[in-house]
Amino acid sequence: MSDASAPWDPSKPILEISNLSISFFTRLREIPAVMDFSCAVMQGESMGLVGESGCGKSTVALAVMRDLGKNGRIVGGTIKFKGRDLTHMTEEELRVIRGSEIAMIYQEPMASLNPAMKIGAQLAEVPMIHQNMPKAEAWALARQIVADVRLPDPDRIINAYPHQLSGGQQQRIVIAMALMAKPALLILDEPTTALDVTVEAGIVDLVKELGRKYGTSMLFISHNLGLILDTCDRLCVMYSGEAVETGNVIEVFDKMRHPYTQALFRSIPLPGADKNSHPLVSIPGNFPLPHERPPGCNFGPRCDYFQAGRCDAADIAMSTVPEDDRHGSRCLKWTEIDWNAPITKRASKPKTPIGKVVLKMEDLRKYYAVSSGAFGGGAKKVVKANETLSFEAREGETLAIVGESGCGKSTFAKVLMGLETATSGTIMLFDENVKSTPIQQRNTDTVSSVQMVFQNPFDTLNPSMTVGRQIIRALEIFKYGASDAEREARMLELMDLVKLPRAFAERMPRQLSGGQKQRVGIARAFAGGAKVVVADEPVSALDVSVQAAVTDLLMDIQRENKTTLLFISHDLSIVRYLADRVMVMYLGHVVEMGTTDQVFQPPYHPYTEALLSAVPIADTKVIRKRIVLEGDIPSAMNPPPGCPFQTRCRWKSQVPGGLCDREMPPMVTLAGGHQIKCHLSADVLNSMEPVIKIAAE
């Protein structure tokens, strides 16, 4: 380690944050972002920081780097790194520490790399600046670290520019850069959120292994509890600027001692949850705004165990849970609550009957022509976004479409909505072929009966129009009602339907939270009495506690209106929870289709198997088989010959005669209508083991 002068005892914590408070100063007021936060990270330990957006977890990380911007200031407490207080260091002292002893990895890999510098030069810069290493030696080290982060062909990579690498490769380079100076502490701020699940699994494995190899301590920030369980030794749950529970990962997961942690676990879909018999329990109310926090316990207003006069009396300090390993809870009543009591609020709901076929697609194809030449000339390339897509969806049914980015699920949605026209094949919507009818030529009935809920809550509403006005506009377009008053009344009914206060109709979208915006989006989609709703990852951008509420809302509306829901998602946990049937897509092909049980049980398509294994599950009782796919998803511009999945398939050797390299596998129908597009023989398929096992209690 470069800093030999500082006397530091390795048995003491490498990072010790005590009573840290951070505020941001805006022109109106001081906004406290983090209050009274304490935690300690030992040598070689990895600490997880979990919480919903706005809870202050990233602020803590930035405070450790002393990079709070010009509005942010540390207003109290200390951050001790190797026994030295970072809060009182000058800029020069910090510069020595940053990058060499504390390194940080951000969410967006492309934003962390300089697009104008070669990878090797960016990596070599670190030891050249911090250790005055000669250039040749630094490049050699860079090459070695690139090999360490398991990138293929390191010699080519160090001479490449960032844009020549895929997202997963870029993130590996960012990790490599962080490791160049062999830092003692690595801060990872949502390092895999921008990546696909199968790529994420690879990165998580890498981080864990490197942590062991170099003995680096880690501060791992994530909103994903499953990921924290996979990567960390200890965790700290944050809520509204405070740490509410901290302790050993296993202990917190199995014996949580704070009502918020408990509510959080009840609101995420774990194996065993089901939309009808075991619905999720969402946390009531909203996340308090930083300047509107309640007195006493911040979680009080949303807590089932709230006791007026006691919980809201004064600020609550962290109290330790005896017997456990440094386990603490910021709750006054944790000794009084019966933590093993069954959930009382959970009410099972009737199953929606599945009706007649509403939507039927047959052999649908969508190709895009892309010209490669700079001046419109050159060879025309064809991107096959959708290939031979056939399925049907029935009234009241939820069909999940699962796949990673680039699999063609969004193109499929566009074709169905009429924003694009199909290249060939038929789309039968209520016995009417809409395949090649663009949306302008569809009649109002067809348009209003197929609607969409969008992914990004911050993008789904027009920021400069009131919420009510946007819903009324949809009603006007769908020719609902005879007068403005009638439409106004219907708009208010729709607000009730999505459980928003009627007063919100007058608000601008920026005054709403993400979950509330998503509710408005749903109200707008159902304005014309939609029969088929395409939900494009409607909850993936929302916080966990809000996800459950919005999912339930969608399910309730579906039950009431017998809507057919096409639920596009990459999150298999939520798909298992709410889908009746699942369709798995890879590079424009449907590789597997069947009921939810069929798809989540063996036999699997090899891709489904890998996908299932890649999704982290926040349950200590679940044992997952680790299958990490090599490499990245091939480009749709240049798909591999034969089976699209053959480049990453681990079962390829089981197929005789190199059939996978040559021929597109046929869709094989197994028992119960379960379809798999694979060359594997029935014997091999039947010999597959389940990826997820729930250990006996």
Partner 1 sequence: METLSWFGSYGSTLTTPVSALIAMMVMVALTNGLLSFASGNGQTALLRTGFLSMAFLFISFFILVFLFLKGGAGVNYESVLTTLLRIAAVLVAFGLFAALTSWILRQSLNDAPRLLARMMRLLWRALAAIAVLWLAATLIFNTEAERGILASVVLRFLPVWIALVVTFALSIRYKRKLGLYGKLFDSTVGMLGFALVMFWVFTAVFADIIITHDPISPIGRVKNPLPGTPLVDPAPGQYLYFLLGGDHLARDVFSRMVMGARRVLQIAPAATLFAFMVGITLGLPAGYFGGKFDTALSFIANLVLAFPVILLFYLLVTPEIRDTGIPIYLAAVLFLFPIIFLCVLLNSRYFTNPPRRNLYVGITLLIGLWAYSGLAFNLDPTGFWSMEPNLLNVFVSVVFVNAPTVFRIVRGIVMDLKARDYVAAGQTRGESPWYIMLWEILPNARGPLIVDFCLRIGYTTILLGTLGFFGLGVSPESPDWGSTIDDGRKLLSIFPHPALAPALALMSLVLGLNLLADGLREESLRD
Cβ closest to partner 1, residue 328 vs residue 408: 408
If you write DSSP's letter for every residue of 255-305 in order, what string do you get? Answer: S--SHHHHHHHHTS--BTBBTTTB---PPPS-PPPGGGPPSS-TTGGG-TT
Pull the structure tokens for residue 295. 């007195």
Q: What is the closest distance, in whole angstroms, from the C-beta atom of residue 452 to partner 1 in the complex? A: 5
Q: How far is the CB of 497 from partner 1 (least distance, A)?
A: 18
Pick 211 or 521: Cβ nearer partner 1: 521
Q: What minimum distance in Å lies between the beta carbon of 419 and partner 1?
A: 6
Rounded Cα–Cα distance for residues 476 and 527 (Å): 10
Cα distances (Å, whole numbers) of residue 482 to 478, 489, 528: 12, 12, 14
d(CA 177, CA 174): 5
**Nearest CA to 580 among 561, 556, 555?**
555
> CA-CA distance, 547 to 264, in Å (whole number)?
11
d(CA 448, CA 170): 42
| Contact between residue 76 and residue 20 where contact means Cβ atoms under 8 Å apart | yes
Residue 545: strand, helix, or coil: helix
Smallest gap from residue 168 Cβ to partner 1 (A)? 24
Judged by beta carbon, residue 19 or residue 444, the one nearer partner 1 is: 444
Classified as helix, coil or strand, 327 is: strand
Least Å distance, CB 203 to partner 1, is: 27
The arrangement of strands across the sheet holding 84-85 comes to 30-41, 15-25, 72-81, 84-85
How far is C-alpha 40 from the chain's CA centre? 27
95 vs 499, which CB is nearer to partner 1? Answer: 95
How far apart (Å, rounded) are the C-alpha atoms in residues 66 and 102? 11
Give the DSSP per-residue string, 421-455: --SEEEEEETTEE-TT--GGGS-HHHHHHEEEE-S
Distance of closest approach, residue 476 Cβ to partner 1, in angstroms: 4
Residue with Cβ nearer partner 1 (528 or 616)? 528
Provide DSSP, 560-625.
HHT-EEEEEES-HHHHHHH-SEEEEEETTEEEEEEEHHHHHSSS--HHHHHHHHHS----TTEEE-
Are 532 and 562 in contact, with CB atoms under 8 Å apart? no
Measured at the CA of 64, the angle between CA 288 and CA 10, to 5 degrees, comes to 130
Please report how close the Cβ of residue 150 comes to partner 1 at its closest, in angstroms.
34
Nearer to partner 1, 440 or 638 (CB): 440
Kindly state the smallest distance separating residue 473's Cβ from partner 1, in Å.
Answer: 8
CB of 161 to partner 1, least distance (A): 24
- Least distance CB 451 / partner 1 (angstroms): 6
- Cβ-based nearer residue to partner 1, 275 or 409: 409
* Comparison of 344 and 440: residue with beta carbon closer to partner 1: 440
Q: Which is nearer to partner 1, 383 or 439 (CB)?
A: 439
- Supply the minimum distance, in Å, between the C-beta of residue 477 and partner 1: 5
Q: Residue 478 CB, nearest distance to partner 1 (Å)?
A: 7
Helix (H, G, I), strand (E, B) or coil at 47: strand
For partner 1, which is the closer residue by CB, 329 or 411?
A: 411
Write down the least CB distance from residue 513 to partner 1, Å.
16
Nearer Cβ to partner 1 (7/463):
463
Q: Which is closer to partner 1, CB of 118 or CB of 473?
A: 473
Which is closer to partner 1, CB of 172 or CB of 435?
435
Our CB check for partner 1 shows the closer of 474 and 593 to be 474
d(CA 27, CA 21): 20
Q: How far is the CB of 584 from partner 1 (least distance, A)?
A: 25
The least distance separating partner 1 from the CB of residue 1, rounded to whole angstroms, comes to: 26
What's the chain's length in residues?
Answer: 697
Give the nearer residue to partner 1 in terms of CB position, either 350 or 463. Answer: 463
Please identify which residue in the block is written with the tokens 């981080």. Answer: 207
Contact residues toward partner 1 (CB under 8 A) are: 26-27, 92, 417-419, 439-440, 442, 444, 447-448, 450-452, 454-456, 459-465, 474, 476-479, 521, 524, 528
CA distance 45 to 122: 28
CA distance 602 to 431: 35
Q: Which residues contact 344 (CB under 8 A, 6 or more apart)?
A: none
* Measured distance CA(105)–CA(183) in Å, rounded: 12
Instruction: List the beta bridge partners of residue 538.
Output: none
8/648 Cα distance (integer angstroms): 47
